[in-house]
Amino acid sequence: MKKRTKRKIKKQAIFNAISIIFVLTVGIYYIGRLIYAYIDSNKKIVLSNELAQRIIDQNDTYELHSTFIKSNNIYRFIGDADTNYLRYKGYLWRIIRINKDNSVTMITEDSISSLAYGKSLETNILPWLNKKEGSIGLFENSLENANLIPTKICIDTFKDIEVSGCFETDNDYNIGLLSIDDYLKAGSNNSYLNNNSSFWTSNSYDNEKAWYIANDGLISNDLINSKYGIRPIITLKGNEKVYAGNGTSESPYLIEKKEYQTLNDTYIGQYLTYNNTLWKIVSKEKDKIKIVSDTCLLDKDNKCLEMSFSQYTNAFNTSRKELLYYLNNTYYNTIDHKEYIVSGPFYSGHFSLTNNDYLPITKSQVNFKVGMLSAADLFAYEVPNTFLLTSDGANDLNIFSVNENKALYESIITQELNIRPALYLKSDIKINNGDGSYLAPFEIGDVNNEKEEK
């Protein structure tokens, strides 16, 4: 009996000793982690003022950022990364990777248009994005002489994403589209690149189809005449100077200093308030800027006003009491500070669904006080069920519109849809407040003073 008791006591002692050692080990580990975290959070890190190194400095620290990895001398953001925001030339971007040459490749956070893929990437999309002889170059023009360097565009054709890669490239353009390879390496639909919208990639499936990212983030393919979003990618030199920001959505990296005194100082894609409406800047000319309403035109009950384009023809006519007459007379007369508005050119060229060539749209223009966006304009597809100022040259009874999926659609002129007005403002109008973002749009002219008086 005594022997059993002694054995019991011995076992208990061993168990207690092991337990104490285990508790001490765990305690020492967590105390060490706390000390480590405290030291890490309180130490002063000298951050580089050059873009590529700043990104590395702020993300490549111990195990604190598992969404930033290095592989084959390329740094990548993956998964639900939330420290890769950068604001540049009026657009919000997400940094994809730092390349071997220290350059930085990034993609717009949102789609800026909805286009057909075309027979190849060089048929429709690349000419619309890039400034080259015989191309539209609307997007590159909107960047206002940005310091771009050629972007490596993956143009591989494959039918199975399991064997995708980036083996065939085009290095002749500054602006391209996201590749399947980059999308997969970022984490596919479980990554920051999945923004719950559909958009084309740079890769084709075969001669009749191309790959795109669906609304749910899954990779799919569709006919090359289908319309999906366009999210451009650009590449900057890694030594661009960072003036502010830490890469978060609340404080994106800023690589240019800007003082906003008049509308001439603004960027395309920024926001302003005018006539109690939120507007987006679409294009800029020497003495005026084109803006478009961020939403549909509202009626007296604050519902989207629905009208037909015409009862007769898709010709652009402001004399008959139809849509364009309404915009340039009835609607125009409701606007405060009409002295800010100037007549300006709106693209009026025809478009054909047969060849999906957007260039002819920009070859013709008409001048209005109030117009609408064309099928070739930036940001034309942001508001669903709205008319566009683009006609079908083959049929007088058809007019193009934006459907409920925010894609190009051909409507009948007698169909009733929402209206999204666009107009030109003088570019020397003073900016009183705001930073041009969606949450803090520019307040212009005497708007601020009027608010204070009220």
Radius of gyration from C-alpha coordinates of the chain:
28
Contact indicator for 103, 55 with CB cutoff of 8 Å: no
Instruction: Mark 316-355 as b/e (b = at least 16 C-beta within 10 Å).
Output: bebeeebbbebbbeebbeebeeeebbbebbbbbbbbeeee
Contact indicator for 421, 432 with CB cutoff of 8 Å: no
pLDDT digits (tens, 9 = 90+) for 326-375: 999 999 999 999 999 999 999 999 999 888 889 999 999 999 999 999 99
pLDDT digits (tens, 9 = 90+) for 158-183: 999 988 899 999 999 999 999 999 99
Helix (H, G, I), strand (E, B) or coil at 357: coil
Token digits of residue 225: 């005449």
- Mean pLDDT for all residues in the chain: 90
Token digits of residue 362: 């920009």
**pTM (two decimals):** 0.85
pLDDT tens, per residue, the chain with 454 residues = 455 555 556 666 666 666 677 666 666 666 666 665 555 555 555 788 999 999 999 887 544 558 999 999 999 999 999 999 999 999 999 999 999 999 999 999 999 999 999 999 999 999 999 998 888 999 999 999 899 999 999 999 999 998 889 999 999 999 999 999 999 999 999 999 999 999 999 999 999 999 999 999 999 999 999 999 999 999 999 999 999 999 999 999 999 988 999 999 999 999 999 999 999 999 999 899 999 999 999 998 999 999 999 999 999 988 888 999 999 999 999 999 999 999 999 999 999 988 888 999 999 999 999 999 999 999 999 999 999 999 988 899 999 999 999 999 999 999 999 999 999 999 999 999 999 999 999 999 864 444 333 3
Domain locations in the chain as residue ranges: 51-236, 260-444
User: How far apart (Å, rounded) are the C-alpha atoms in residues 388 and 306?
Assistant: 14
Beta strands in 309-397 (DSSP E): 341-342, 344-347, 365-368, 370-371, 386-391
Helix (H, G, I), strand (E, B) or coil at 71: strand
